[in-house]
């Protein structure tokens, strides 16, 4: 089937979906529900969907070159998009895991320092009791 002979509904549905994805992404960014780095995936996807909706001949040309059906091309595009999202999230999770590990190490070092200061303070307080009454601490 040529792009010129496509039913109108087959041309409008992808166009409408692309517009909905783009508007939803922009609205989520505006409301600060979706960070820009993640929204770029959805904006790129909606741009790709717009290109294929406006120029469906591209899909038919891919169909001829790859010698597969139209549905296979659409499923392949969906699979590639999902793979791109999974790869991006894998990178984000790896980076966050490293940051969490570093924060846990810093927390442990700080906790050890605080405990050491408390031990020094309590041992210094015990020495002060031997020397005489210590002034009262108003902060406690």
9-53 pLDDT, tens digit per residue, is 878 888 898 899 889 988 998 998 988 777 888 888 888 888 888
Residue the block writes with tokens 């570093």: 102
32 within some domain: yes
Q: How far apart are the C-alpha atoms of 73 and 68, rounded to whole Å?
A: 7
130 within some domain: no
104 has a pLDDT exceeding 80: yes
106 within some domain: no
Label residue 139 by pLDDT band (50, 70, 90). Answer: low
Label residue 140 by pLDDT band (50, 70, 90). Answer: very low
Q: Residue 122 to residues 5, 62, 74, 136: CA-CA distances in angstroms?
A: 87, 76, 71, 14
Q: How far apart are the C-alpha atoms of 121 and 50, rounded to whole Å?
A: 68
- In this prediction, residue 38 carries a pLDDT of 79
109 within some domain: no
- In this prediction, residue 110 carries a pLDDT of 97
Q: How far apart are the C-alpha atoms of 38 and 86, rounded to whole Å?
A: 12
35 within some domain: yes
Label residue 97 by pLDDT band (50, 70, 90). Answer: very high
140 within some domain: no
Label residue 78 by pLDDT band (50, 70, 90). Answer: confident
Domains in the chain, number: 1
68 within some domain: yes
103 has a pLDDT exceeding 90: yes
116 within some domain: no
Q: How far apart are the C-alpha atoms of 88 and 81, rounded to whole Å?
A: 11
Dig out the tokens for 99 from the structure: 């940051």
Query: What residues make up the domain containing 36?
Result: 3-90
- In this prediction, residue 45 carries a pLDDT of 83
- As a whole-number percent, the residues of the chain with pLDDT over 70 amount to 86
């Amino acid at each position: 089937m040529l792009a010129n002979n496509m039913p109108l509904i087959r041309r409008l549905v992808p166009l409408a979906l692309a517009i909905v994805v783009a508007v939803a992404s922009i609205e989520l960014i505006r409301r600060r529900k979706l960070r820009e780095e993640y929204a770029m995936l959805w904006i790129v996807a909606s741009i790709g969907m717009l290109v294929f909706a406006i120029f469906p001949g591209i899909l038919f040309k891919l169909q001829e070159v790859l010698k597969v059906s139209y549905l296979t091309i659409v499923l392949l595009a969906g699979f590639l998009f999902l793979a791109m999202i999974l790869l991006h999230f894998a990178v984000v999770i790896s980076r966050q895991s490293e940051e969490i590990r570093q924060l846990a190490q810093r927390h442990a070092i700080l906790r050890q320092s605080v405990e050491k200061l408390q031990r020094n303070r309590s041992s210094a307080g015990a020495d002060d009791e031997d020397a005489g009454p210590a002034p009262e601490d108003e902060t406690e």
